[in-house]
Amino acid sequence: MSDTPTTIALGQPTVGEEELAAVAEVFRSGWLAGAGPACRRFEERFAATVGTRHALSTSNCGSALYLGLRVLGVNPGDEVIVGDYTFPATGHAVLQAGAKPVFADIRPDIWSADPKHVESLITPKTVGILAVDVAGQPGDFDEYRAIADKHGLWLFEDAACSAGATYKTRPAGSLGDIAAFSFHGRKGITAGEGGALVSDREDLIAHARKLHTYGIEPAITREGGDELPIPTFHEAGYNFRLSDVQAAIMNVQLDRLPDLLAARRSVAKRYTEAFDGLDGIEVPVALTDREHPWQAYILTVAPEISRGKFAVKLRERGIQCNFGTYASHLQPVYGEQAPLPVSADAFARHLAVPMHANLTDAEVDRVAEGVRAVLAELS
């Protein structure tokens, strides 16, 4: 018998018989392709959940980000200010739209873009602000909105991790002119992959809906008439649709969302109680005027402790962990960028520990014990 402990996963979806039953229903319907009845049901429900009038399901968050930039009218030569501490899909979408991402340094506590630095980066080429909800906690959207309105810019919320979060009682996704979500396997609700673009503006979502289906309205819109409608292509689009199989899963995940959020928040509370006050690490900050969905739980390791060794020793104990996310300005794909010391420091010192809704109390205790033991070894 092996003495190696069972590995505690860094992230894990919560899926079961309900999702399988929903997929079986789609199989029986015969419509497995994208942008079908299950997608429409999900879009209506998701828009209501995030407090917007309209939603469009997409193949992933990257496609939602790109579509959002396209329908906002981003052109080559434009500049978009982007919160720096984020998976590079955010900056990539700006590059793919032909524009230049200009990265803003972050608050040292919640790691979203510092509004003062955002405003300092505005030039005549700036067209908008792409603000990231880091680990799901929304940034300072009242301040972002004031800056955007003052300078005639649009405001785009990268809410990839934010399903179920709020900012001053307003749901994440409703905080800008448009927002993008991810349903990747490590997110709070998931179909393995997938995304959504949401907005109160019908014109933006209607345009995005055409672009995400090669430049025409989806087939479901042409059903039920007494003629044979032939669509016309006026601009080149893409295949960025979510399948109805995935949408069926997402409809069940929406039903689960309150329980999944409660479970994650319980885990975060237990972690914070276990780690708060320990020398050598800092716990993440959850501000009282917003509800954190805890897509990730990220510790900040003291500079005198090797984060790499910390991670290796935790993994040896069967506890998965990883760095937080990227300081985008350090990635070679973006070329020469101005130094952003706060984001660079977070990139060097952050360590994500297991966070998902399936964690048991015993597993949380084991993670806490492991972190304390490794701290003692390395201190």
**H-helix or E-strand containing 80?**
strand 79-83
Q: Can you tell me the mean pLDDT for 33-39?
A: 94
- Which two tokens mark 337? 């960028």
Q: What is the mean pLDDT of residues 14-31?
A: 97
Joined tokens for residue 191: 């179909």
Question: Across the chain, what does the average pLDDT equal?
Answer: 96
Q: How far apart are CA 366 and CA 317, in angstroms?
A: 9
Segment 312-338, tens digit of pLDDT: 999 999 999 999 999 999 999 999 999
Question: For position 61, what pLDDT does the model report?
Answer: 98
Tokens of 26: 């789609």
In DSSP notation, 301-341 reads E-TTS-HHHHHHHHHHTTB--B----BGGGSGGG-S----H
List the alpha helices (DSSP H) in the chain.
Answer: 17-29, 37-50, 61-71, 89-96, 115-120, 141-151, 202-211, 244-275, 307-316, 341-349, 361-378
Task: Please answer whether residues 161 and 298 qualify as being in contact, where contact means their C-beta atoms are separated by less than 8 angstroms.
Answer: no
Return the pLDDT at 226.
75
- 118 CB neighbour count, 10 Å cutoff: 25
Residue 1 has pLDDT above 70, yes or no: no
- Give percent of the chain above pLDDT 90: 93
Output the pLDDT for position 257: 98
Cβ within 8 Å of residue 53, ≥6 positions away: 47, 199, 200, 201, 202
CB 191 within 8 A of CB 139: no
Q: Give the pLDDT confidence of 238-293 residue by residue, as tens digits.
A: 999 999 999 999 999 999 999 999 999 999 999 999 999 899 999 999 999 999 99
User: Contact 23/337 with Cβ under 8 angstroms?
Assistant: no
Q: What pTM did the predictor assign?
A: 0.96
pLDDT in tens, 193-244: 999 999 999 999 999 999 999 999 887 776 766 788 888 999 999 999 999 9
Torsion 315-317-321-322 (CA) sign = negative
User: Which has the higher per-residue pLDDT, 295 or 229?
Assistant: 295
Question: For the residues 51-63, what does the mean pLDDT come to?
Answer: 98
User: What digits encode the pLDDT tens for the residues 66-77?
Assistant: 999 999 999 999
Domains of the chain listed by start with CATH number: 17-254 (3.40.640.10), 257-378 (3.90.1150.10)
> pLDDT digits over 99-147, tens only?
999 999 999 999 999 999 999 999 999 999 999 999 999 999 999 999 9
State how far the Cα of 343 lies from the Cα of 356, in Å rounded to an integer: 25
State residue 264's pLDDT score: 98
pLDDT of the residue at 218: 82
